Structure 1
Amino acid sequence: MTRVLPFVRPAASQDVPQAVQTLAAAFADYPWTRHTVAADRHVWRIERLQELFLTRFGLPYGRVWVTGDVRAVAVWTTPDTAPPASLGEELDPLVAELTGDRADVSARAEALMAPHRPAGPAWTLQTVAVHPEAQGRGLGSAVLRPGLEAAAQAGLPAYLETSSERNVRFYERLGFAVTARVTLPEGGPLTWSMVRAPSGPH
């Protein structure tokens, strides 16, 4: 019996509310966000952070794909359209406010991961999520496929970071390889840097 692949399409502005809900549900108990985002009003903070990233970075400057029902979301940044430096300066105070009493921890975590990120052009998977109620249906690999194919067609590596060992195995099946392992200080999680070569899996 032929398996029907989930329908995946580029995201539009009207998808933002549902995409935010999907992302927040998936990241509510994720090790990285638990470590870097304040515990009080935790889910609300994640929702606002994801909304900020989608509306100010992902949609205007990156590539965002969703399944038809927006139960899966993948947000990439690419070398093609870089946001102006002034945007980061504008949003940094908002991000610090939303991370709350974990703002300094979040900044240190980012600084620790920075040396392991690609020095040259690459497609970077900034975030991907499948709503917990829709997991196990192939939505994750489906929503990632367009970005992986676009990176390969451009002859560029794809890069990501994950704080879940289960995710590491999932990404390895998609052709990624671990390039660094970083344990975040102050009780933070082990985080993996992973790269997929332009030629994809062999």
Structure 2
Amino acid sequence: MSDPRLASADDLAPAAETLAQAFAHYPWTRHVIPVEGYDERLLALQHLYLAHAHQNGIVAVTRDRDGVIALLPPDAPEPDDAAVEQIVALHGDRIDRLSHGAAPHDGWTLETLGVRPAAQGRRLGSALLGFALDEAGRRGARTVRLETSDERNVRLYERHGFHVSGRRDHPEGPPVWLMELDTRTT
């Protein structure tokens, strides 16, 4: 049973570990994080991003922390200077691969959704997505946007009402699907 709930500060370290496992072979993280020290860099980045989302948006976990989701509202501040400095250092010589020119928008952003590989196939991602979208709706979300570079994820998000709003192809990296959900029509 998944029983998603809002994460506490004590959930962040195990949640970051779950995301590091979930994204170990993800095309986009492989593209933007150097090979040397990849696992450690990925885990450190997940810690930074989750701490920011926990402070400024929504982070939810499954009961056993095998699944994690994070969303940010449109008015979330940028990470502070110290966090940005760490992010730049962790991305190393691949930091320029992050500048993708996503258009600004006034909706919420689904920053991450991941399930520990050993727990995949149990509908934890769907449970987390439903929980987090309901929570974002309670907080006034009208639209939610996301980006994914795994075509299998596109189908998951479409089952929850998202539609593809664009695609960016990178000459040396994976494609990125842009997706959007209007929460007022679901």
TM-score (norm 1): 0.85
- Is the Cα contact below 8 Å between 1:152 and 1:200 reproduced in 2? no
Cα displacement (A) at 1:155: 5.2
Contiguous gaps of at least 5 residues in structure 2: none
Equivalent residue, structure 1, for 2:43: 47
Equivalent residue, structure 2, for 1:74: 69
- RMSD of Structure 2 on Structure 1 (CA): 1.6
- Structure-1 separation of matches of 2:163 and 2:117: 25
Equivalent residue, structure 1, for 2:168: 182
Equivalent residue, structure 2, for 1:21: 17
Contiguous gaps of at least 5 residues in structure 1: none
Cα displacement (A) at 1:88: 4.0
- Structure-2 separation of matches of 1:200 and 1:145: 14
Cα displacement (A) at 1:200: 4.3
Equivalent residue, structure 1, for 2:131: 146
What one-letter code is carried by the residue in structure 2 that aligns with 1:82?
A
Per-residue Cα deviation, 1:112-169 (whole angstroms, up to 9, x for no partner) = 3x12x5x22x121101100000000010010111221234442511111100000001
Cα displacement (A) at 1:100: 1.7
Aligned length: 185
- Is the Cα contact below 8 Å between 1:64 and 1:73 reproduced in 2? yes
- Is the Cα contact below 8 Å between 1:76 and 1:127 reproduced in 2? yes
- Is the Cα contact below 8 Å between 2:2 and 2:64 reproduced in 1? no
Equivalent residue, structure 1, for 2:54: 59
Equivalent residue, structure 1, for 2:108: 123
TM-score (norm 2): 0.92
Equivalent residue, structure 2, for 1:89: 81
- Structure-2 separation of matches of 1:54 and 1:130: 15
Equivalent residue, structure 1, for 2:158: 172
- Is the Cα contact below 8 Å between 1:38 and 1:102 reproduced in 2? yes
Larger radius of gyration between Structure 1 and Structure 2: 1
- 1:195 paired with 2:180, answer yes
Equivalent residue, structure 2, for 1:37: 33
Tell me: CA distance 1:103–1:72, structure 2 relative to 1, closer, same or farther (3 Å).
same
SS at match of 1:137: coil
Cα displacement (A) at 1:101: 2.1
- Structure-2 separation of matches of 1:200 and 1:147: 16
SS at match of 2:65: coil
- Structure-2 separation of matches of 1:188 and 1:67: 31
| Aligned counterpart in structure 2 of residue 161 of structure 1, from 147, 150, 156 | 147
- Is the Cα contact below 8 Å between 1:151 and 1:198 reproduced in 2? no
Equivalent residue, structure 2, for 1:136: 121
